[in-house]
Chains A and B, each alone.
Chain A
């Protein structure tokens, strides 16, 4: 099966090589707090982009689902404070956490199965905030407002997860695999039906496909992706709190996906990188107190000027310069197409 054209494979390879060699010449701060962070949050944004672009569902529940995985791994993690009732080695806890996120994704899909567009946005937003409030008020499992601390992550090749190299490479490998997974899935019959549903769910139903089941499966897959992001984010933050999956975090992931561009999976990571850069360096420009105004302005300007984000802007720029990608097989990654 062709996931990408040869040229795109080559470009992806070059990009990956650059990312792999970053530790050679970047200080640890950049490695962990800019690129590592962009990768782990980009994974959550990727799950949103996948749903939005290929399914037409802009779901605000992805941060919540990442939070499900994050809380699941934190509850089972050894050395967590407070320690959960059942502790498992990370090799078991991580897959279970991702499984929990997959199930949570399917449940969100089930709840929202009959809703579309703007209703879906509202319902998923309400679910996300509801879950965060639940985590905040539950002491027994979620430890309430304080959350669960000291979730340090597994040792890999005898090195602690917090070592910058280990964290960065793990995040990079997971992100790259999930990125390729998305590109692969949308070429499978399942992915094609999903896009058909996005374009016209009635016709797709008339052909004989079960629209509801495909939608729920898409949400489950997005949950699987977001789950990996949630686990890595929890290791990155050495723990998880209700506010880290609250409304602001939810909107943050939406901002990343939209700034980067909902039209292509890569946009999620571009947006996450821009977000991380702004979050880190905005304080030296306008003071950290007004970060929200800055990010809100940037978000607003992007939505007003280029609804398909930086990725779409780049695509239009390339087209304007006459370098049209003739082997364009992703079809609609440029232009002013709105996610439906």
Chain B
């Protein structure tokens, strides 16, 4: 096993972890504030990818817009996922706040319907976005050689999302409100904050991250039906391992799972899937709250 090989596999794991981080961040954000386990998070990922592609495809075919097509597709995917998330929160989840299990069941029902309707509307053919010229093709990476530049962009984007979320939560008024809501919703409402509005905003933001992940994921590798399950699971595992509602924990969880998945495929290809779940079970056995999760008070 050469050094170059080791570095390549590690970088592959890192880029996969970046995608997981972007998607799982949204999941963790929603759970952190509202204690809502959004079982439809994978469906929001798919909504982002499918709607984004529906907007992107005709633009890419036209000559005038081809260069901006990808960016517009990304924005459309984010907007569509955020809108669906907003509708979910306002129409279904908002008024059953506190009934966590019921909310989880509702989102399971919604995810079944969304997946089936996406299949009905867009068909089951796999598709893939072409990255814009700036992010297309290989680039020379020291120690590795040629590496797809889009994969590196993924890492940069994940860092930007992480830093952006950290700034949002720690340096803005909205962040103060959200963090206060995590600790004590009733008191927050008593202070005159419109909690349902904050909840809707956070839900839309979390859903938007899933949509962003959808377009990015469908650019990195072909998109097909069934990914909703995969990304819901990965979000679950990442936040369980990392700890709920903590950005650092989500990043750590995503890194562990992404690296484990890539290295697992190299070391024992047949059982690489299992490694993820072994990690989850062992983390839970020692740290029931996840690696960086807070103890429930």
Contacts and interface: CB of A to CB of B under 8 A. Distances in A.
Interface string B225-246: 0000100010011001000000
Given A127-B281, A338-B102, A292 B271 contact: no
A289 B120 contact: yes
Interface residues of B, number: 35
B236 A118 contact: no
A119 B244 CA distance: 10
Interface in A285-326: 289-290, 292-293, 295-297, 299-300, 303-304, 307
A251 B274 contact: no
Interface in A117-148: 117-119, 121-123, 125-127, 129-130, 133-134, 137-139
B57 interface: no
Interface string B266-297: 00001101101100110011001000000000
A211 interface: no
A118 B35 contact: yes
A58 B274 contact: no
A290 B284 contact: no
Contact of B273 (A112, A130, A254, A303): A130
A121 B31 CA distance: 14
Given A111-B284, A130-B274, A130-B276, A121 B120 contact: no
B32 to A, nearest CB: 13
Interface residues of A, number: 39
B101 interface: yes
Contacts of A130: 273-274, 276-277
A328 B204 CA distance: 46
Contact of A126 (B106, B237, B285): B237
Contacts of B284: 111-112, 114-115, 123
A133 B115 contact: no
A339 B240 contact: no
Contact of B115 (A137, A292, A303, A338): A292
Interface string B83-111: 00000000010000001111011101110
B189 to A, nearest CB: 22
A292 B101 contact: no
B281 A122 contact: no
Contacts, number: 101
Most buried by A among B35, B92, B113: B113
Contacts of B35: 118
Contacts of B260: none
A117 B229 contact: no
Interface string A91-132: 000000000000000000001101101110111011101100
B26 to A, nearest CB: 16
Contact of A300 (B110, B117, B271, B277): B110
A303 B105 CA distance: 7
B215 interface: no
A247 B229 contact: yes
B280 A295 contact: no
A126 B280 contact: yes
A258 interface: yes
Contacts of A254: 105, 108
B112 interface: yes
Contact of A58 (B101, B120, B233, B288): B101
A122 B117 contact: no
B47 interface: no
A102 B48 CA distance: 42
B244 to A, nearest CB: 8
A137 B271 contact: yes
A293 B281 contact: no
B37 interface: yes
Contacts of A303: 102, 105-106, 109
A126 B239 CA distance: 12
Contacts of B184: none
B116 interface: yes
Nearest to A303: B105
Contacts of B104: 118, 121
B239 to A, nearest CB: 8
A111 B106 contact: no
Nearest to B99: A338
Contact of B288 (A115, A133, A134): A115
B274 to A, nearest CB: 5
A134 B229 CA distance: 16
A304 B113 CA distance: 15
B200 to A, nearest CB: 19
A188 to B, nearest CB: 26
14 contacts: A111-B284, A114-B284, A119-B240, A121-B37, A123-B240, A125-B236, A127-B277, A130-B273, A130-B277, A139-B270, A258-B105, A290-B116, A293-B116, A338-B101
- Minimum-distance CB pairs A-B, first 9: A296-B112, A130-B277, A300-B109, A292-B116, A296-B113, A114-B288, A133-B273, A299-B109, A293-B116
Interface of A: 58, 111-112, 114-115, 117-119, 121-123, 125-127, 129-130, 133-134, 137-139, 247, 251, 254, 258, 289-290, 292-293, 295-297, 299-300, 303-304, 307, 338-339
